[in-house]
Amino acid sequence: MNTLSNIASTLAKTPKKWLVTGGAGFIGSNLAEFLLLAKQDVTVLDNLSTGYQKNIDTLKSIADKEKANFTFIKGDIVDYQTCLNATKAQDFILHQAALGSVPRSIELPLDSHLNNVDGTLNVFLAAKENGIQRVVYASSSSVYGDSQEMPKVEDVIGTPLSPYAITKLVNEVYAKNFSQIYGIEMIGLRYFNVFGPRQDPDGAYAAVIPKWIKSLIQDQPVSIFGDGETSRDFCYIQNVVLMNILASLKTNKNAINQVYNVACNERTTLNDLYKIIVAELKAHHPHVENMKAEYKDFRPGDIRHSLANIEKAQKLLNYAYSHTLQQGMKESIPWYINNI
């Protein structure tokens, strides 16, 4: 079975060089941590606009303890020369750097385009110039747009509903083009609703799970947009790490130059999610059991329902997720209690 511990043991025997863009952020720092624990040579490129120096400090500590090579480049993917320098002599690129959030992209579409389209093109072109064989890049379930297909299958997408979704779809088109013209191996990962330790609970564009956890702990009101029956396929961070590594290492030609859903094929409504969080939190903070969520208007650009078909990843990458929503929440709650 392709567990992270088994893969780490195999990787440690043959260290490689990995560039993680956006490695000071939530997903990127978890990827970099796994690689460092597996004795890999890791470089992180991040401008610290949405990532954190504290995550870099943690990675440095891990590298020192594991006697692994770690390099942090404070730089921006919108600068091509920075990308060209960072990608030199790398074996793999895990491209996570982006300006996330559907609401933010609606408010600041130019910023989303600059970071997610121009920045990604810089990374792809730099990889081509430096002869990088494989790039694994973060896409998003938002590319499914107004498609009514359920569960979501990779080959059936609709019209994007936000500038953010458009940027991620453009990334996929560029990746396909680069693989066809330049022969670079490209694998896109359509993340569904990822959650776990290090996910930022603060800010106007914070993801729902960390934002709710912090609000509940601090006895602040929780807002649910719509009637609460909007549903998502929530995916714990360790499942995402596993998919990135599997996509990086897979040698089956049929698995390369593809896009894959990264999820659990489990749909949870926001109402049920609220109950799950409260159930996990109340042992530590009994007051949350009596708190009620506040319902507000639906937000523009939000997809009503999201559920992933993961058969393609199971078949071509041998993907088997390790954590359900409930299992991931049990691991996440203690981290937030200790870090809020």
Residues acting as catalytic residues: 164
Dihedral angle computed from the Cα positions of residues 314, 319, 324 and 330, in that order, rounded to the nearest 10 degrees: 180
Distances (CA, A) of 41 to 55, 87, 123: 17, 13, 19
Length of the chain: 340
Handedness of CA 47, 160, 30, 330 (dihedral sign): positive
Count of helices and strands (H, E) across the chain: 13, 13
Q: How far apart are CA 207 and CA 195, in angstroms?
A: 8
E strands in the chain: 17-21, 41-46, 70-74, 92-95, 134-140, 185-191, 193-195, 223-225, 231-232, 234-236, 258-262, 268-269, 294-296
